[in-house]
Structure 1
Amino acid sequence: MRVLITNDDGIDSPGLTVLAHVAADAGHEVVVAAPNTEYSGFSAGLRGEHADGVLTVSEGRPPGLRAGIESMAVHASPALIAYAAGAGDLGPRPDVLLSGINLGPNVGPAIMHSGTVGAAISAAAQGMPAIASSITTQHPQHWETAAAVLERTFDWLLSHPQDHRVLNVNVPDIPLSELKGLRTAHPARFTATSDERQAQVRRLLFEPFRSEKVTFDADSDAGLLAAGWATVSLVAAHVHDGESATMPSLTFDEGTQS
């Protein structure tokens, strides 16, 4: 099975290496194709550098990646990399996409803005099983915890393929011995707070793990992470909601509108 590894932090992120080794240790063919620069917060946006209609690709390897694992830096957003790979433009079409491991959590409303999640959604929309993965800190000290959780979720995904849905996995940066386990969770709800400490400048603060002003449900992804659990949520890759079929009062036939 061919597994594509990508992210939104860029080709130099060590999270790519951890994720690639998880897939390689499971006996799969692995290729790393990550952005040449950071694309955090790019969601499923499609942007890239082209030369004569072909995406620009250069040499690049994340730190510590084992010899023999194919790797490239693609001058494109994560979602475009997933899209191009699905079309066979970056070699044989992958069977699975693993995105991450993102430096920082992707929980609550942040999910919709994440380039890590955007890559997984782009893959799932093309029928590829996909996982978006994140660890809670910018400078992780416990990659072994993330690796252990992702080994389990990757194995589960292969035996329980999801139809146009993504597994969004978040792991606390704590020793594996302190991890309470893995729980399914719903996305937390956060409130953006306006900060006017700088003259003429307004900033939106999204600091669920640092701000005492933000509260969230203990059973949400953010709440469980803060309590020492790894979390997993299903994110839909399609944009159509079946509930639209239950809005008869909003529809009309030609000639009947008032």
Structure 2
Amino acid sequence: MDKYTIFLVNDDGYQSEGLLKLRKKLLKENFRVVTVAPDRNMSGTSHSLTFTRPLKIEKLDEDFYYIVDGTPADCVHLGLQVILKDLKPDLLISGINTGPNLGNDIFYSGTVGAAREGTIFGIPSVAFSPASSKNPDFESMSTIALKIVKKVLKVGLPEKVFLNVTFPNIPIGDIKGYLLTRQGRGAYKERIEKYISPSKEVYYWIGGEETLEEECEKGTDYTAVRDGFVSITPIRLDLTDYRGIEELEKLTFLSI
């Protein structure tokens, strides 16, 4: 059997522990691992592409390891069209992220954005994240990620669908199994901090406090990880609400 080519990206930068642990695990399995990562932390960049300046690619290691001074989606574009060229990878992996991508996080996440970009290019894609940024065990998570990777390579994914996978932050032996879940609504309590500089200028820092205690509806991603399961959420590229179209038609919405 030919060697599988794995395209590995992330949004936390090329020195991220989650990325390095997973890369090492994949290489041990004799996959061809082409890693293209941002040269700095690009969390929260979602699916953005850089159009306002040129981008640089630096070869960090002879073993298919590159860094880009751009977003995760930039890394996908340059990786596929400049580095890999005619070689289409069998799977794109984004992560392992340093913090959670649950509920509404998927709209902001550069990790999820990279997996979405891979799906647009027709590549089966998976995003991996822990349920919390507090002491994640990336060694154990990369072991579980490898099992999911092998399964996806074996059975494939539905067309135009990628996976957002979240690991519970518990010992690997305590994990109860895997659940197919739907996207929840929110995993953070928003917090905006106000600061005053020495020159008396006012500025703000947008952040949030992690929580799994609210909005824990049955069948959602963060209910699964709260209960000790690995959450696997299939996400479609098509965001159209077809039921919404039907409801608006019933309301004669277009008779404006």
What TM-score does the superposition give when structure 1 sets the normalisation length? 0.80
Does the 8 Å contact 2:192/2:208 carry over to 1? no
1:21 aligns with 2:24: yes
Q: For the Cα contact (< 8 Å) 2:175–2:228, is it kept in 1?
A: yes
Q: How does 1:7-46 map to 2 (within 5 A)?
A: 7-46=10-49
Q: Which amino acid aligns with 1:15?
A: G
Report deviation, 1:152: 1.9
Residue of structure 2 equivalent to 1:58: 58
Greater mean deviation of Cα atoms: 25-34 or 215-224:
215-224
Q: Which residue of 2 aligns with 1:5?
A: 8
Question: Residue 149 of structure 2: which of 150, 154, 158 is its match?
Answer: 154
Return 21-30 or 152-161, whichever deviates more: 21-30
Percent pairwise identity:
25
Distance 1:202 1:98 in 2: 30
Contact preservation (8 Å) 2:25, 2:142: yes
Aligned pairs for 1:8-157 within 5 A: 8-47=11-50, 51=54, 55-60=55-60, 69-86=63-80, 88-91=81-84, 92-138=87-133, 140-157=135-152
Match for 1:176 among 169, 172, 175?
A: 172
- Say which SS state the counterpart of residue 97 (structure 1) adopts: strand
State the alpha-carbon separation in 1 of the partners of residues 191 and 143 from structure 2.
Answer: 39
Relative distance call for 1:131 and 1:193 in structure 2 (3 A) is: closer
- Which position in structure 1 is the counterpart of 2:237? 237
**Aligned 8 A contact 1:6 1:32 in 2:** yes
Q: 8 Å contact 2:166–2:231 — kept in the other structure?
A: yes
Pick closer, same or farther for the CA change 1:32–1:6 going to 2, 3 Å. Answer: same
Which residue of the partner structure matches residue 227 of structure 1? 227
Mean alpha-carbon deviation: is it higher for 187-196 or for 136-145?
A: 187-196
Residues 193-237 of structure 1: CA distance to partner in whole angstroms, max 9, x if unpaired?
56588688696635224xx6x342253211221222111001112
Decide whether the 8 Å contact of 1:35 with 1:78 is kept in 2.
yes
Secondary structure at the residue paired with 1:23? Answer: helix
TM superposition shift of 1:31: 0.9
Q: How many residues align?
A: 240
Alignment TM-score, normalising by the size of structure 2: 0.80
Q: Give the gaps of 5 or more residues in structure 1.
A: 62-67, 252-256
